[in-house]
Structures are given as C-alpha cells and as structure tokens.
Structure 1
C-alpha cells in the first residue's frame, strides 16, 4: 500500500472545508449545542492530523533506516 501525503492533505482540507461550511450556515444566532459539537469535531480533526503526521514521519524514518541498513 502506497501512502500519498497529497491525498491525505486533500482529505484533511475537505474535512476542514465542510466544517467551515457548517459554521457559516449557522450564522451568528446558531444553536450553542451545534457550535459546541463543531468545536469538538475541529479539535478532534486537529488531534488526528497531528497523530497522522507523526505516524507518517515515523514510518518514513523507519523505511529510510531499512534502506540504509
């Protein structure tokens, strides 16, 4: 299985765009519960993005180490 960082970036950008659209659709008088859920989703996406980038970095380092050794 080949990992394509560009594909992963596109997927993350699409998720962020969807959250932005939801946020805009709420307007200034949006439901507080919905806003809280969106904020929780944003935090979760940020956390997943950090974990994914860290995992990919570790995988690349491991592959480079295998190739060198």
Structure 2
C-alpha cells in the first residue's frame, strides 16, 4: 500500500495488518466458543467512523459462518 503521493506507509501498514490479525483471532475464538471447528465464507470488511472526539477511526471486521464439520461415514 502506498500513500496518495507515493511512498510506503510502513507504520500504517503494520497497524492495518495487526488489526486484521486481531479481527481474525477474535473470529476464531468466537467460532470455537460456539462449538464450531470451521468458518465458511470468511470476509473482512472495513470502514471509517467518527469516534466523537473530532477523530475519524478505521474499523476492520472479520465475519463468516461458523460451522461444525464432521467426516462422512462410508
């Protein structure tokens, strides 16, 4: 990812990557808590919102369908 006028934004990229990893870890924990052993159709979504302090914040959400898979009998 490059800045609008070119050049790398190392700190911003690291923060976005860490936030995505955190969202994925939360998704996995929540799925396991429901008894799932897989998540289907997993997606990331992001958006901006006003934090109420005159600052715009970015949020990243991970979502999917938590399922319990098992082997089929022959």
| TM-score for the superposition, normalised by structure 1 | 0.42
Structure with more strand by fraction: 2
Between structures 1 and 2, the one with greater helix share:
1
Q: TM-score, normalised by structure 2?
A: 0.40
